[in-house]
Chain A
Amino acid sequence: MGPTPSWLDQRLLVFTGKGGTGKSTIAAATALFAANHGKRVLLVDVDAKQSVASLFEHAAVDFSATRVHAGIDALAMDTEQSLREYLKLNLRIPVVGRIGPLAKMFDFVATAAPGVKEILTLGKIAWEVREAIAGRAAHDIVIVDAVASGHVLAHLNAARTIRDLVDVGPLRTQTDWMIDILEDPALTSINIVTTPEEMPVAETIELIQRVRSASRAPLGSVVVNRVLPELFTRDDEVVFETLRNPSSQRLVVDEFGSAIIDVFEGARLAVDLRRSRAEHLDHLRASIDMPTIFVPYQFGSLHGLRMTTVIAQAISDEVL
């Protein structure tokens, strides 16, 4: 089942999930998928680990959007730059020269005041989406490689938090249009990347509950990444087990030498790995009511643009 409404019809796709599950890979691959379908994409790397750049085999990107691939511009979030841009655009305070001490100070206040730091990230993203909708931007869709599940709610809720906390001023008045964009399921979807393993699945289920109870952000799809292929059908697995009986193993050892035992043991491990993951998947599916997208595990050492391309194809196969 593909996501509803379709990713390609939306304006903002946010990818979050447990650390290391493949958020950056999936966000970059989705950007490529969208670009392959004629969308002009802005890809935003929020944790600024430069994964997005490496997934397109491009030099590091900064706060100003840079073309990293045909149809894809990327930028790395930088709250100081975002503050500078914000002051200029919204308060008409041009900050010339060093913003350092001011930003440091702001950082300091922002550490204590909820939503302040997050609004700089969220505000920039929402602004880019608004420009896209208005047809003033060089992109049609914004795809975000967001922070991990533990922190994402603070980001998603930043506009509401600010509105509740700050009673006057431009920061507050700016929040309404942001909320309109971020909470509209026709425009925005929050997608969760996970793997079929115990902790990522538990974290995904928990995140979905938290998003539903503590925010109005529209959930999109769960992307289950690193899914092992099924080695045998149920019937073939019975045959496989039969072939592991001592007399059959003697036959294959006579033919291929004793090392063939390791080959059968290897298949046994693959079956066991797949089975334990399947249990986690069943648990996930029984616990959530969101569309799921499966992305196969890539054996070998794929990386960079080839990895992105292969995963983009897998996403395309699932979504279309």
Chain B
Amino acid sequence: MRRDGHGEATLDRLLSAQEIVVCCGSGGVGKTSVAASIALGAARRPGVKVLVLTVDPAKRLATALGLQALGNTEARISAEVLAESGVVLRGELWAAMLDTKQSWDALVLRHAPDETTAYRILNNRLYHNLTARFVQSHDYIAMERLYELHASGRYDLIVIDTPPTRNAVDFLEAPQRMAEFFGGRLLRWLTLPYRVGGGRGARMVNVASRPFYQIADRLLGSTFLQEIAEFFLNFQSMYDGFVQRANAVEALLHDRRTTFAVVSTLESAPLREAELFCVELRKRQYLLGALVLNRVLPETFLSEHSQAAAVALGNDEGAIAESLAAANDLDTATVRRVLGSVAQSFERFGAVAQHERALRDQLRDPPSVVATVPNRAADIADASGLAWIADHLFART
């Protein structure tokens, strides 16, 4: 979306054309709150049904929204709960959480060729470990759920909060990696000796010369190796289903109806990661819709007038302290100390604000929508907190 003669680029305009918003960014920047707030803001439009698919909401927020029992199934945030926080929506706001384990089980049951194989996989002791730990497992499941919910056609807009990844790019590669993992040459090679003998229980044959088996056998013992191979053999039976799905998910992410919102704070490390992510998104031709700068200090810390006033306050020799003390029946020394702290605090936070500003000015090639959410002292503990964020996100700049 470009700035053009027809008005500014705003989040509102951006979202009116989208069906999916993917929120990403490094951990701890407030992704979950931003995702929920985007959804809430979008649900202000009449008749619109919006779903936020979240990974790890703060307990207090989930409870405040009446979502404590929230699992893989979607739930509507009730109008009463919203009204209690003074929030009125003309559309509907729905939420669902991502339960990785539950979603994986469903996936296995769907893709396995028959029930026996499905349960053989589900009961394997390696299965739980693989799903819990495979680097891209959470990402893949998130994408998979997104695909399903979108395909259901129940929602006009889905906002998805992505799991914390070590590297934001991992997330984009999840579907493809998943397909490769189960279809790759490595897997065929690994399971080869067990297939030779014909199915389960086959013994290792003719592979003693392969260095991998030699070493792996010495390290892990052949029983354990065999267990691993068996598991993979079963898992491989789901290969076609996985590849199909992975390709469909990939296409959905590339679709013009899907946009990405990158979330960051104005701190060096998260911002560096956010910028890198923006570059990767563009390189891979995803639609980069918005950059959300969260927890930014107010502009007033940067105003020259305020800075000068703070310096003057800090340097005051006591005239003002005396009149304030007299007017309020206070001790002059105390008033002077308090004024000194006020001035000092302004300078400290001013330094942080300057740093934030510098980082912001250095942003290279930001997307056309850059939304800023101020640093809020209070936690986002209910719908009114989300509405507060939404007000800033959807503000015209």
Binds B, one of A68-76, A215-223, A249-257: A249-257
Taking a contact as CB atoms under 8 Å apart, the answer to whether A87 and B328 are in contact is no
Nearest-CB residue, chain B, relative to A230? B341
Given A112-B231, A165-B224, A266-B300, also A300-B355 (CB < 8 A): yes
Contacts of A200 in B (CB 8 A): 28
Taking a contact as CB atoms under 8 Å apart, the answer to whether B300 and A236 are in contact is no
Binds B, one of A127-135, A183-191, A267-275: A267-275
Shortest C-beta distance, A111 to chain B (Å), equals 6
Which of A170, A272, A300, A303 contacts B219, CB < 8 Å?
A170
Given A108-B190, A232-B338, also A263-B377 (CB < 8 A): no
Contacts of A148 in B (CB 8 A): 27, 164
**Docked complex Cα distance between A248 and B352 (Å):** 28
Contacts of A248 in B (CB 8 A): 324, 327-328
Q: A305 an interface residue at 8 Å Cβ cutoff?
A: no
How many chain A residues have a CB neighbour from B under 8 Å? Answer: 68
Which of B134, B220, B231, B351 contacts A301, CB < 8 Å?
B351
Taking a contact as CB atoms under 8 Å apart, the answer to whether A259 and B60 are in contact is no
Binds A, one of B78-86, B125-133, B255-263: B125-133
Contacts of A202 in B (CB 8 A): 58-59
Taking a contact as CB atoms under 8 Å apart, the answer to whether B164 and A19 are in contact is yes
Q: B335 an interface residue at 8 Å Cβ cutoff?
A: yes
Which of B166, B225, B308, B379 contacts A47, CB < 8 Å?
B166
Given A252-B324, A276-B378, also A263-B349 (CB < 8 A): no
Within 254-298 of B, Cβ neighbours of A (below 8 Å) are at 268-270, 298
Q: A150 an interface residue at 8 Å Cβ cutoff?
A: yes
Contacts of A259 in B (CB 8 A): 303, 305-306, 308-309
Nearest-CB residue, chain B, relative to A111? B134
Q: B211 an interface residue at 8 Å Cβ cutoff?
A: yes
Taking a contact as CB atoms under 8 Å apart, the answer to whether B305 and A257 are in contact is yes
Q: B248 an interface residue at 8 Å Cβ cutoff?
A: no
Given A236-B337, A263-B342, also A301-B379 (CB < 8 A): no
Question: How many contacts A-B (CB < 8 Å)?
Answer: 201
B12-31 vs A, CB cutoff 8 Å, 1 = contact: the mask equals 00000000000000111100
Shortest C-beta distance, A142 to chain B (Å), equals 23
Taking a contact as CB atoms under 8 Å apart, the answer to whether A199 and B58 are in contact is yes
Taking a contact as CB atoms under 8 Å apart, the answer to whether B303 and A262 are in contact is yes
**Docked complex Cα distance between A301 and B359 (Å):** 11
**Docked complex Cα distance between A79 and B26 (Å):** 24
Contacts of A167 in B (CB 8 A): 221, 223-224
Within 222-259 of A, Cβ neighbours of B (below 8 Å) are at 231-232, 235-236, 239-240, 242-243, 245, 247-248, 251-252, 255-257, 259
Shortest C-beta distance, B38 to chain A (Å), equals 19
Given A260-B309, A267-B345, also A198-B58 (CB < 8 A): yes
Q: B334 an interface residue at 8 Å Cβ cutoff?
A: yes
Q: A136 an interface residue at 8 Å Cβ cutoff?
A: no
Taking a contact as CB atoms under 8 Å apart, the answer to whether B215 and A20 are in contact is no
Within 150-166 of A, Cβ neighbours of B (below 8 Å) are at 150, 154, 165-166
B317-355 vs A, CB cutoff 8 Å, 1 = contact: the mask equals 001100110011010001101110111011011111001
Shortest C-beta distance, A286 to chain B (Å), equals 16
Within 194-229 of B, Cβ neighbours of A (below 8 Å) are at 211-212, 215-216, 218-221, 223-225, 228
Contacts of B341 in A (CB 8 A): 231-232, 236, 240, 267
Shortest C-beta distance, A45 to chain B (Å), equals 13
Given A111-B130, A300-B351, also A243-B335 (CB < 8 A): yes
**Docked complex Cα distance between A138 and B69 (Å):** 54
Interface bin, chain B:
35 or more
Q: B187 an interface residue at 8 Å Cβ cutoff?
A: yes
**Docked complex Cα distance between A251 and B187 (Å):** 78
**Docked complex Cα distance between A116 and B129 (Å):** 12
Q: A317 an interface residue at 8 Å Cβ cutoff?
A: no
Nearest-CB residue, chain A, relative to B356? A301
Q: A63 an interface residue at 8 Å Cβ cutoff?
A: no
Given A248-B328, A276-B379, A300-B352, also A269-B335 (CB < 8 A): no
Q: A288 an interface residue at 8 Å Cβ cutoff?
A: no
**Docked complex Cα distance between A105 and B215 (Å):** 11
Taking a contact as CB atoms under 8 Å apart, the answer to whether B221 and A169 are in contact is yes
**Docked complex Cα distance between A239 and B340 (Å):** 13
Q: B155 an interface residue at 8 Å Cβ cutoff?
A: no
Shortest C-beta distance, A178 to chain B (Å), equals 15
Taking a contact as CB atoms under 8 Å apart, the answer to whether B351 and A102 are in contact is no
Shortest C-beta distance, A205 to chain B (Å), equals 11
Which of A111, A168, A231, A232 contacts B221, CB < 8 Å?
A168
Shortest C-beta distance, A299 to chain B (Å), equals 4
Taking a contact as CB atoms under 8 Å apart, the answer to whether A263 and B218 are in contact is no
Chain A residues near B (Cβ < 8 Å): 18-21, 47, 87, 91, 93, 101-102, 104-106, 108-109, 111-114, 116, 148, 150, 154, 165-171, 198-200, 202, 231-232, 235-236, 239-240, 242-243, 245, 247-248, 251-252, 255-257, 259-260, 262-267, 269-270, 272-273, 275-276, 299-301, 303
Show 17 A/B contacts (Cβ-Cβ < 8 Å), sorted by A.
A18-B27, A19-B27, A47-B166, A91-B215, A112-B130, A148-B164, A166-B221, A166-B224, A198-B60, A200-B28, A236-B341, A243-B339, A248-B324, A256-B312, A266-B346, A267-B346, A299-B352
For the complex with contacts A243-B338, A272-B377, 8 further pairs of A-B residues with Cβ separation under 8 Å are A20-B28, A112-B130, A166-B220, A231-B345, A243-B339, A251-B324, A269-B349, A276-B378
Q: Which 9 residue pairs spanning A and B have beta carbons closest together?
A: A272-B377, A259-B305, A19-B27, A20-B28, A262-B300, A300-B351, A301-B355, A262-B306, A299-B348
